[in-house]
Amino acid sequence: MLENKNTQRTTLAELGEFGLINHLTKHFTIQNSSTFKGVGDDAAVLKSTKKQTLITTDLLIEGVHFDLSYMPLKHLGYKAVMVNLSDVYAMNGKAEQITVSVAVSNRFSLEALEELYAGIQLACNTYKIDLIGGDTTSSTKGMLLSITAIGTAKKSDVVYRNTAKPTDLIVVSGDLGAAYLGLQVLEREKQVFQVNPKNQPDLDNYTYLIERQLKPEARKDVVEILAELDVKPTAMIDVSDGLSSEIMHICSQSNVGCKIYEDKIPLDPQVISTCEEFNMDSTMVALSGGEDYELLFTVAISDFDKIKANPNFTIIGHITEKNQGINLVTRADQEIELKAQGWNALKE
Ligand code: ADP
Ligand code: MG
């Protein structure tokens, strides 16, 4: 995980707004030729290309989308970038720039914002992204963080949600459910800590789950692998709200149905063992948990041979005609209809 070494505390007022922006952004370097002018003027300037431009935004609010009592600021910065890059990759695009807007109350020090920006910078360097601007302002309570990502793709490469066809295979990258369980582990430890602050949490059995919750990686590699395999998905979406709600988005927008096979859903061994310990159903966790940031896509059946042996991918089902409905085939070979349930359904 990411280290946090900052213990000093400088108030934001000491720097002033422009000093602050300069301080936070001066170590970022430009890495894409499409960035003509980054931070520093009234607006950033991008070179126009023959490609199409992809734009996506997320707004994160303290207490609603993140809890700083177990989310270190460096991780928050990193994850906030990932959430946005994931949406660009889900269009089969290449992410190139971000803007970052942040509002903070006077509870936050310069060092706190440095931590946040260290996470943002690590994400930018790892994923070759240029920070090209943003806005900085104060809030009366807590932190708000909004990131916009900009990417490009050839018109013929862009993959939408509404173009899946009956007989297409349904494929997911990586594994599902771990990030949600990581959150459960962190919430449990927070409660234990509140009762007895001397209690040191033992998180050894949950390292993968916590890493998936606190330091997710957007699947840029999947877009690259698909290009190498010469496979263009027929539809694609990223798994931010759980498999169930994402497959429903593809099916309803594409006007099709689907069959997902319970025994095919990819689960990490830590997900299985922790579900047993927490007395939760691992299929439910994969279907309704969230924040896995894997890619869920459909491919023509003629691409089966290119996909089948790839260790990054699992074929979990296939698309059907709409009138067949959206179904999960259980291990007992029963078909049950999937209901719209994002990760909020599990929270209750
Ligand atoms: P303006 O008053 O025109 O909005 P600002 O003073 O807010 O200008 O911003 C000056 C420059 O710094 C702009 O290039 C802007 O995009 C950038 N900037 C402002 N806040 C941030 C931030 N939090 N992160 C990155 N860049 C920022
Ligand atoms: Mg501004």
Residue 78 has pLDDT above 90, yes or no: yes
The predicted pLDDT at position 312 comes to: 97
Question: Is residue 38 within 6 Å of ligand 1 at its C-beta?
Answer: no
Give the ligand with the smallest distance to the CA of 148.
Answer: 1
Number of the ligand 1 atom closest to the C-alpha atom of 41: 14
pLDDT band for position 97 (cuts 50, 70, 90):
very high
Number of the ligand 1 atom closest to the C-alpha atom of 38: 14
Q: Could you tell me the fold of the domain covering 12-153? A: 60s Ribosomal Protein L30; Chain: A; (3.30.1330)
Domain ranges of the chain: 12-153, 169-337
- SS3 sequence of the chain: CCCCCCCCCCEHHHCHHHHHHHHHHCCCCCCCCCEEECECECCCEECCCCCEEEEEEEEEEECCCECCCCCCHHHHHHHHHHHHHHHHHCCCCEEEEEEEEEEECCCCEHHHHHHHHHHHHHHHHHHCCEEEEEEEEECCCCEEEEEEEEEEECHHHCCCCCCCCCCCEEEEECCCCHHHHHHHHHHHHHHHHHHCCCCCCCCHHHHHHHHHHHCCCCCHHHHHHHHHHCCCCCEEEEECCCHHHHHHHHHHHHCCEEEEEHHHCCCCHHHHHHHHHHCCCHHHHHHHCCCCCEEEEEECHHHHHHHHCCCCEEEEEEEECHHHCEEEECCCCCEEECCCCCHHHHHC
Question: Is residue 21 within 6 Å of ligand 1 at its C-beta?
Answer: yes
Question: Is residue 37 within 6 Å of ligand 1 at its C-beta?
Answer: no
Residue 5 has pLDDT above 70, yes or no: no
Mutation choice for ligand 1 from 24, 39, 108, 113, CB with most ligand atoms inside 8 A: 39
Same fold, 12-153 and 169-337: no
Q: What is the mean pLDDT of the chain?
A: 93
pLDDT band for position 342 (cuts 50, 70, 90):
very low
Question: Is residue 76 within 6 Å of ligand 1 at its C-beta?
Answer: no
Residue 341 has pLDDT above 60, yes or no: no
| Each residue's pLDDT tens digit, 272-328 | 999 999 999 999 999 999 999 999 999 999 999 999 989 999 999 999 999 999 999
CATH homologous superfamily of 169-337 equals PurM-like C-terminal domain (3.90.650.10)
The predicted pLDDT at position 235 comes to: 98
Question: Is residue 41 within 6 Å of ligand 1 at its C-beta?
Answer: yes
Residue 3 has pLDDT above 90, yes or no: no
Give the ligand with the smallest distance to the CA of 133.
Answer: 1
Q: How far is the CA of 136 from the centre of ligand 2 (A)?
A: 6
Give the ligand with the smallest distance to the CA of 39.
Answer: 1
